Structure 1
Amino acid sequence: MSNSRIATAALHPYSGDYVLFEIKYYFLGAGAIFDDVKNKKSNVCPLRNLAKTTAIVTGGSRGIGAALVAKLLQCEMHVIIACRNVDAGQRKLEEIRNMGITTGTANVYELDLMSFASIKKFASEVKKKFRAIHLLVHNAGIMFAPYRESEDGFESHWQVNHLGPALLTHLLLPIIEPSTKNERNFTPRIVSVTSCAHAAARQINFENISMKDHYIPSAAYAQSKLAQLLFAINLGKRLERASSKVQVHCVHPGIVNTDLFDGTLLKKTMPWVLTRICKTAEKGAVSVLHACISPQLDDKTGTYSSNCRIVEPGRNARSRHLRHRIFNKTLENLGLEHFGHLDAGWIVDD
């Protein structure tokens, strides 16, 4: 576990901003649930044989991540389950096997996105044992957490949902590139599980990323998800312009009843509502699986999808200016001069 620290922050649970974000979330949530119901029939993704390919799923020991691991094993992939608690990952893998899924192979590795040291250790271990990674799924995340700083000095949503996955991609990109030549003719992909909540964010607070002086958990979550989406779209375009075949996709899995809702007012007061109106983890994993393996995306990159359909993200996520700023800010936060194995002069997106 990382040595993250609780830090004091000015909390304003009844401020106008807090109420505004609550209203935004209710409207976004209602719209997303309507979309899940309306496009229920499109939320399907046939399995395909991807033997001799390797996938990494962060947060693969529970929720959507665990359901996705089961589906990738059914595709006969080798799956690396990356999670904070290795024992929990092993138990979940045993559960999957007990469900009758005997295909594919898997390992469980420790990964704590609240620690850059843990991310670097994980990436080093993976690169020692695997020559190529064909699929990297950024699934792990936190939502509506109280103010906390990582051992690296960043607010928890910003690090876990955005900086950590960006650093992991940077470290593993050199072995994702070689996987463009594989026996299954599978185009390698980097997939970020994001959220419609990105549309609630007020751009990015570049001058005060941590929001420590006026901290609202729902605002911090929305900002981190917008940053994650902006960065992924930018990376996809940059890789495309650099003639890389590695694809980058983002997916909103729907409103899924997972433990991310633990501690929220809705789950505390009316937990039965979530079971009736939300997707199951299984259904949410179908949306993610589509971004991971569907041949429909073979000639595309930098996409955002929901219910196995490419859709437009929120207005701020479409901003070219914000894409550039968040890419540069991310490099600054991570202390990097360039990204992946490509030098500082690689082509920018258009």
Structure 2
Amino acid sequence: MDVYATLISTACFIILSILLLIFLMAIVSRKSFKHVITEILFELRYNIMGTLSVLDDWVLREKEISKELLMSTGKIALITGGTRGIGAQVVKKLLERDLHVIIGCRNVKSGQELCETYRAMGIKTGSVDVYQVDLNSLSSVRSFAKNIKEKYSKINILINNAGIMFGPHKLTEDGYESQFATNYLGHFLLTHLLLPEVIRAGDDDRRYSRIINVSSCAHKIGEINFDDINAKKLYIPSQAYAQSKLAQILFSNYLNTLMKDSNKRVGVYSVHPGVVDTDLFKEWYLDHLMSRYIRRLFFKSPEAGSISIIYACFSHKLEVGTGTYISNSQITPMSVSAYSTALQRRLFEFTMNELNIKEFGKE
């Protein structure tokens, strides 16, 4: 109980500090009063939700899951953003399970150095290919997918992991808000382009191939603003992040339904890895108030954050549990809006139109 009391007291202090900081920053930046109030109210909701998620991580600590995992020698896994943070730990666990791992990242050298590090640590199983991709660029995603399709005929596990969080408002070369583009849109396009290879893996192995979208509890307060999808009128960093994470889950649910309706052996899952101490928090304004040591005290380590993703990749229990949201290696409820089939369809059709895709999974 002392731990919970300390955590709640710290959370209250953090929330009050956030409100004061936002208000002062708003004055300096000369935002409108409406913008200031909207941002304060959203940040209050956001940080309450984050605190509750941290509590969940403390209460529902990851259990030992090795006995629940399917054997994977000879399987092929592709992960985006696998060179640092949670992604790097996922790569390590994939290699330990003797998979061939394809890493899609912005810096190929970093990916190669990571693999050398794991070999030096004594991990001899598995193999790796590293390719360059920038999820912020649709042309880069298309080029990456083309390279993969030329070399690989099937992909057993597709892990859409790369992501960014917060930061100033910025539009990509394609004209999209950067968090929406990186976290959702780029992965939507990549999944579309590689779906034939994922389907083929399920058909060949007679087991479900898997698509894992690494999302966040932030989706629970997210909304899809179709009228201002790129937040040009009103930009709140955490709100844009929450929108991108809700979009991922809506896409996961809709795609899983498509796969079921067409009798494809493809399971689609959304995973919340927990509140994890990674470089994603470098753009968080509270990071100036909270030292790295305090984050380490309350947040999960990247290694702990990787466990739920690995669970989604291999647990035999999920062969019949597709289309689920996983947190702390358990199937847990999503937000009410995430279950809305009407919203799932609307976002899917909106995205198809934006990307000029006529039929998903077919070029």
Q: TM-score, normalised by structure 1?
A: 0.91
Find the counterpart in structure 1 of residue 9 from structure 2: none
> In structure 1, the residue corresponding to 2:228 is in which secondary structure?
coil
Is the Cα–Cα contact under 8 Å of residues 110 and 122 in structure 1 kept in the other structure? yes
C-alpha distance in 2 between matches for 1:293 and 1:302: 15
Measured after TM superposition, the shift of residue 283 of structure 1 is 0.5
Measured after TM superposition, the shift of residue 212 of structure 1 is 0.8
Residue 311 (str. 1) matches residue 329 (str. 2): no
Residue 324 (str. 1) matches residue 351 (str. 2): no
Find the counterpart in structure 1 of residue 317 from structure 2: 296
- Which of 224, 234, 246 lines up with 2:266 in the alignment? 246
- Which of 103, 117, 138 lines up with 2:139 in the alignment? 117
C-alpha distance in 2 between matches for 1:226 and 1:307: 19
Measured after TM superposition, the shift of residue 264 of structure 1 is 1.3
C-alpha distance in 2 between matches for 1:324 and 1:181: 26
Point out where structure 2 has 5 or more consecutive residues left out of the alignment. Answer: 1-28
Find the counterpart in structure 2 of residue 6 from structure 1: none
C-alpha distance in 2 between matches for 1:264 and 1:151: 24
Point out where structure 1 has 5 or more consecutive residues left out of the alignment. Answer: 1-8, 343-350
Measured after TM superposition, the shift of residue 10 of structure 1 is 9.5
Find the counterpart in structure 1 of residue 307 from structure 2: 286
Measured after TM superposition, the shift of residue 319 of structure 1 is 1.3
Measured after TM superposition, the shift of residue 95 of structure 1 is 1.5
Is the Cα–Cα contact under 8 Å of residues 60 and 82 in structure 1 kept in the other structure? yes
Find the counterpart in structure 1 of residue 191 from structure 2: 169
Measured after TM superposition, the shift of residue 293 of structure 1 is 1.0
Residue 88 (str. 1) matches residue 88 (str. 2): no
Q: RMSD of the alignment, in Å? A: 1.8
Find the counterpart in structure 1 of residue 11 from structure 2: none
C-alpha distance in 2 between matches for 1:159 and 1:41: 31
Aligned residues: 332
Write out aligned runs for 1:11-50 (5 A): 15-42=36-63, 44-46=65-67, 47-50=69-72
Find the counterpart in structure 1 of residue 26 from structure 2: none
Write out aligned runs for 1:24-173 (5 A): 24-42=45-63, 44-46=65-67, 47-173=69-195
Deviation string, structure 1 residues 110-161 (Cα, Å, up to 9, x no partner): 0100111111111111111111111000000010021111111111011101
Deviation string, structure 1 residues 283-318 (Cα, Å, up to 9, x no partner): 010011011111110122211010010011111111
Find the counterpart in structure 1 of residue 283 from structure 2: 263
Q: Which has the larger radius of gyration?
A: 2
Find the counterpart in structure 2 of residue 205 from structure 1: 225
C-alpha distance in 2 between matches for 1:121 and 1:228: 22
User: Residues 266 and 51 from structure 1, CA distance in 2 versus in 1: closer, same or farther, beyond 3 angstroms?
Assistant: same
Residue 340 (str. 1) matches residue 354 (str. 2): no
Q: Which amino acid aligns with 1:99?
A: M
- Which of 193, 196, 200 lines up with 2:217 in the alignment? 196
C-alpha distance in 1 between matches for 2:270 and 2:107: 26
Measured after TM superposition, the shift of residue 265 of structure 1 is 2.5
User: Residues 128 and 265 from structure 1, CA distance in 2 versus in 1: closer, same or farther, beyond 3 angstroms?
Assistant: same
C-alpha distance in 2 between matches for 1:148 and 1:41: 36
Runs of 4+ in 1 over 2 A off after TM superposition: 9-14, 41-49
Is the Cα–Cα contact under 8 Å of residues 192 and 250 in structure 1 kept in the other structure? yes
Deviation string, structure 1 residues 61-80 (Cα, Å, up to 9, x no partner): 01100100000111100000
Find the counterpart in structure 2 of residue 219 from structure 1: 239
Q: Please say which of residues 333-342 and 9-18 is displaced more in the overlay.
A: 9-18
Deviation string, structure 1 residues 166-223 (Cα, Å, up to 9, x no partner): 000000001111101445x54200000000001122x211011011111111111000
Deviation string, structure 1 residues 235-267 (Cα, Å, up to 9, x no partner): 001110111111100000000000000131332
Measured after TM superposition, the shift of residue 224 of structure 1 is 0.7
Measured after TM superposition, the shift of residue 105 of structure 1 is 0.4
- Which of 216, 230, 235 lines up with 2:250 in the alignment? 230
Find the counterpart in structure 2 of residue 348 from structure 1: none
Measured after TM superposition, the shift of residue 12 of structure 1 is 6.0
> In structure 2, the residue corresponding to 1:80 is in which secondary structure?
strand
Q: TM-score, normalised by structure 2?
A: 0.88
- Identity, % of aligned positions: 42
Q: Please say which of residues 15-24 and 302-311 is displaced more in the overlay.
A: 15-24
Deviation string, structure 1 residues 22-49 (Cα, Å, up to 9, x no partner): 1112111111111111111436444543
Name the structure where helix makes up a greater proportion of residues.
Answer: 2
Write out aligned runs for 1:1-16 (5 A): 15-16=36-37
Is the Cα–Cα contact under 8 Å of residues 136 and 178 in structure 2 kept in the other structure? yes
> In structure 1, the residue corresponding to 2:79 is in which secondary structure?
strand
Is the Cα–Cα contact under 8 Å of residues 179 and 241 in structure 2 kept in the other structure? yes
C-alpha distance in 2 between matches for 1:148 and 1:44: 40
User: Residues 101 and 65 from structure 1, CA distance in 2 versus in 1: closer, same or farther, beyond 3 angstroms?
Assistant: same
Q: Which amino acid aligns with 1:36?
A: D
Measured after TM superposition, the shift of residue 108 of structure 1 is 0.6
